Amino acid sequence: LPCVDNATAQETLSRSKNVTHQLVNVVNGVINNVFNRNFPPALAPLYFNQSGPLVPVLCNPFHSNLTNRDCAFGEVTLHNATEVWKKYICEVSGSGVCSTPGRLTPQFYTQMSAAVNVSYGLYRYGPFLVNLQDCTFVRDAFTDISHDYCPDLRHYSQWIYIGLVIVSAAVMLSLIFWVIYARERRHRVYTKQYDGRSEGQYKGR
C-alpha cells in the first residue's frame, strides 16, 4: 500500500487543526468587531443597521497549542452554528442595510457558513483522512474482516469450490459425450453413403 510514515501523517493532522483554529478565530473576530457592534451610519460598510440580540461566537475546538478545547457557555459548535445563526439574519433593503432587526445580512451569513463548513470538514474528517494516509484505517479494516468474516468465508469458500468442481466435471462429461455422439453420427452418415454407393454399383452389374 502507498502509505506515508507516521511523522508525515501527524504533521498533516497538525496542519489541519491549525487551519481550523485560525478560521474559527477569523469568524469570531468578525462577529465581535463587526456584527455585534452598533456603528453609526457614517462608518459604512461596517454599518448596515445591525440591531437586536448579539450573534453567538463560534466554539473553537482547539487551543492555540492545538490541544482539544471544550466549548464555553454561549458558544455555538461547528456542527450547529449555521442553524443557530439563521435566527440573526435580517431582511435587506435596496441599499444593502438591514430593514428588519438582525445582525447578519444574507450575504454575510453565506460567507460565514462557508468558513464554518470548511472548518467542520477539517475538524470532522481530518483524523480519518490521516488514518487513510498512514494506512491505519486500511489495516484496521482488514484486521476486522479477517477476525469477523474470514472463518465463515473460508467455510463457504470450500462449498463454492466443491460446487465449481462439480460443474466443471459436468461440463467435461457433456463435452466428452458430445464428441462421442458427433463421431457416431458422422460414422452412421458415412456408412449410409457407402452402402448406397455399393448398392448402386451392384445393380449396375
Whether pLDDT at 18 is above 80: yes
The distance from CA 112 to its chain's CA centroid, rounded to whole angstroms, is 24
Residue of 87, 86, 105 lying closest to 96 (CA atoms) = 105
For residues 31 and 177, which has the higher predicted lDDT (pLDDT)?
Answer: 31
pLDDT at 184: 75
Give 50-97 pLDDT, tens digit per residue: 999 999 999 999 999 999 999 999 999 999 999 999 999 999 998 889
**Residue 61 near residue 27 (C-beta atoms within 8 A):** no
Give 44-58 pLDDT, tens digit per residue: 889 999 999 999 999
Q: How many CB atoms lie within 10 A of CB 71?
A: 13
